[in-house]
Structure 1
């Protein structure tokens, strides 16, 4: 004869099912949090690669015109400001024509700067402006595109080919470096990403590289490889 479940047995069974459900829910939640953190890490790596690659292409072909006094000539500049975060403005030969028959040249004026990140409080977004007309007005006209979000720091350093010293700022309009390009530019980006152990906490992820400028003067004397030619990419 089949015996019905007692009330105690039903309560115990429900308790076991509830415990299994709670453990399963917690496991799934933890797995989803880990997945989100890993996806954010991948997004950070991808953003760093895109931003650094774009900066490399622009900086390698940075140039200055030798004669700025002739009639109908334009003034080219290379200016890096030690802001918080830093900004950069220069002329380069990296412009890519989208259409073969378009009346464009490879000369362009680019600006890199940051603004508040609309997707994360306290973070910055790295912006790039490209203007086909070189007019010494880095905040006017041109196409603006975001390169990287969730940034805490953007830093540039410049090596002086005459003194072999790293400088925090560069200005071709006067000072120590009139009408001269830095031999190399060091780029450092610091991203904010969720901590793998505590997704509610943000941690820093640094990425860095050093770019040699093709049209810059060579260094006057040999410098240590750790300062001038080492490339440190965490991507």
Structure 2
């Protein structure tokens, strides 16, 4: 059984006579079982960025996904990590993929509860496919390449949102907000990001992570809350 990962009730390496695969699953009555279907639908649109989906089935009360098994390690987000360029390369590659014709949530919809002024939501709109969940457990580094897993929260929005969400995880792993923004700035879309849009996103992330940390007992929530506070205060001053 594979223990890393935050979104699956089952995560296992399975070896058959013909191949080794990675299988993840949720019970069909789980409130987030829809993320399994979302990930299955996204997979054909992200070849080379995500592990290849082998099959998706629903049986005996479970939704299961099987992916090609890749040897690698979860991304290291500490300062000066050799993994950071590979993660950014995959993020940039993703930004060139048009949003598929799927029923994906938009970033304005996802962040609607975290703004004072609904007009701020217009900054987040766009037709780009976004991963949005940049937890290092969702990044598998194989050689010099980074593969993105866990696409259940894929959304559409402005292209600078992914590097902005990524930098929060960098701060949580030891970067200063300035260092994290410098890393994010290696993404071409960051250079076109509106200052007011970034400020608005920072405010939403502080409120979002305040809410998550209040409700969650997971040990990763508090560092993310602290990172979101740090980034919002950095942008405000």
Q: Structure 2 length as normaliser, TM-score?
A: 0.22
Query: Larger radius of gyration, structure 1 or 2?
Result: 1
Kindly indicate which of the two structures has a greater share of residues assigned to strand: 1
Kindly indicate which of the two structures has a greater share of residues assigned to helix: 2
